[in-house]
Each structure stands twice: as structure tokens, then as C-alpha cells.
Amino acid sequence: MKRLSFQYTISIVFEWPVADHAFLLRCLPPSLPGQRILDVCLSLFPCVPYALQRDAFGNLIELGRICAPHDSFTYGVTGSALMDGTPTEPEPLFPVYRFPSAYTRPDCALSEFGRSLPLTGSPAEMSLQLAQAVHGLFTYTPGITGVKTTAARAFSLRQGVCQDYTHVFLALARLRGIPARYVSGLLTGEGSSHAWAEIYDGERWMGVDPTHCRPADDSYIRFNVGRDFDDCAMERGVFHGGASQSQSVASRVTEQ
């Protein structure tokens, strides 16, 4: 068991001022089996009120609106969490995690590759074999793919980032009958946000990180879960103004 402190900041800069900006954030980590949030604080700039709700996957969502013109939007989260990598309480399985989703639907090439893998053992053992297979396929290459890249496309490129590794892993796991879900959050250290997977072993969810080819242990803080990236995006927004935008992300997780 360990205590982690975390900081996460996203800054969005618009080409020119926009207004009537409605936003949906998923940037507050919830308490989950193996993860107890001790304290957390969300700051917004411009500073506006927001409503706190949960979505269909149990993720915390923050809803708000900035009516006045503004040329940037920043939100930051700080807090601490008590992590226990060995939860013992049974967890439920929702059937939706058994089936392909928009970003994880395999094409013929990915399906053929998945069926050719000689997986053996328990779901947990097979998931680590899958992670090794995906890790061996890819060259980690930022900028080649984007948030709309599917597992089939990433598989054909053999390049991408953590989101792509995870989408291909999910496609293969579900193809072989292993329920699996997408996870977004933070990993101990400095950088950006991270994505990995969780598989259902018959009683509870177990984290697997195909990007680093290892189990996701108590160094990982979970923010959101879902079928794929589309269910876990940290920020969504619509606004009046038609401006292009640029984004910067910074995160830091340290053990106390």
C-alpha cells in the first residue's frame, strides 16, 4: 500500500476569443477498489461554477459553461490517493465490455492475428501474453496517430502511443472472449496522462499496461473507465467563435 500525490493540468489556447463555451470534464479520479481518494481539488480558469455528476460507466463528470469571451481555458487537479494493488472484494462485470466498440472493432487482419496467438492459462495469464504480443508489434511513435485512430488502423501502422496500444489490446482480448475495458489516468512520474487496460478475471478487474508490457500496479491512478477512448476523454466542449485551438498537458505523480 502506498500514498500518491498527483497534479494534472490541461491548458487550451484559442486562436481568438470564444464565448458561450459549454464543457464536460472527466478529470476527477473516483474512489475504486484498490484506490481511495483522500483529497482532491479542481481549479478552473476562467473560474465558473460546475455541476458534478456520474456517467453510465461510473466516472465522475464536471459540467459547466463560460458565457463571457475568453481566449484560453485551463483546468487543474491536485490531490492524494491511497493505493492498494491487491483488492479482494468481488467487482461486477457489465456485459458491454465483452463486445467490440467503435474504436476497437477488429478488421480481417487484426482478427486473423488475434486468432493465431497461442494463448494459454487463466484470463490473467492470457492478458499478460496479449500485452507482450501487442508490445512486440508496436514502435512507440507520437504524432503518427490521433484521438480518432481505431485499433484496426493502429494495427496496420504498427506505430502509435498508449491509446493505440490499449485499443489493439482491447480488440484482441474481446476477440478471445476476455472482457476488457479502457482506462485513462496517471502513472507515477512526470509527463502527460496515460492509457492502459483492465481485464475481468472472473471476480475482479486486473490492470494491464501493453505500452510498458507489465501489470498496472499501485503506481497507476485511475481516472476513467469505458469501452474505449471515446468514453474516457478528459475534456469535451462546444463554443461560439469557430477558433482553432492548441493544447498543453502536464502531470506529476509522486509517492509520499
Summarize pLDDT for 22-59 with one digit per residue, the tens: 999 999 999 988 899 999 999 999 999 999 999 999 99
d(CA 42, CA 35): 19
Structural domain boundaries, residue 72: 2-85+234-255
Total domains in the chain come to: 2
How many other C-beta atoms can be found within 10 angstroms of the C-beta atom of residue 15? 12
Residue 113 lies in a domain: yes
Residue 189 has a pLDDT of: 94
Residue 48 lies in a domain: yes
- What average pLDDT does the chain have? 94
Residue 89 has a pLDDT of: 74
Residue 225 lies in a domain: yes
Q: Are residues 128 and 249 both part of a single domain?
A: no
CATH number at residue 118: 3.10.620.30
CATH number at residue 244: 2.60.40.2250
Residue 90 has a pLDDT of: 80
Set of cell numbers at residue 56:
453510465
Q: Are residues 59 and 111 both part of a single domain?
A: no
Query: Distance of CA 91 to CAs 45, 141, 181, Å?
Result: 37, 35, 14
Angle between helices 108-116 and 162-175 (to 10 degrees): 70
d(CA 154, CA 67): 39
Q: Are residues 106 and 34 both part of a single domain?
A: no
Q: Are residues 65 and 99 both part of a single domain?
A: no
Summarize pLDDT for 125-150 with one digit per residue, the tens: 999 999 999 999 999 999 999 989 99
Q: Are residues 100 and 191 both part of a single domain?
A: yes
Confidence tier at 84 by pLDDT (50, 70, 90): confident
Q: Are residues 147 and 202 both part of a single domain?
A: yes
Residue 95 has a pLDDT of: 93
d(CA 105, CA 195): 18
Residue 92 has a pLDDT of: 85
- Which range has the worst mean pLDDT, 84-93, 108-117, 172-181, 227-236? 84-93
Residue 88 has a pLDDT of: 65
Residue 188 lies in a domain: yes
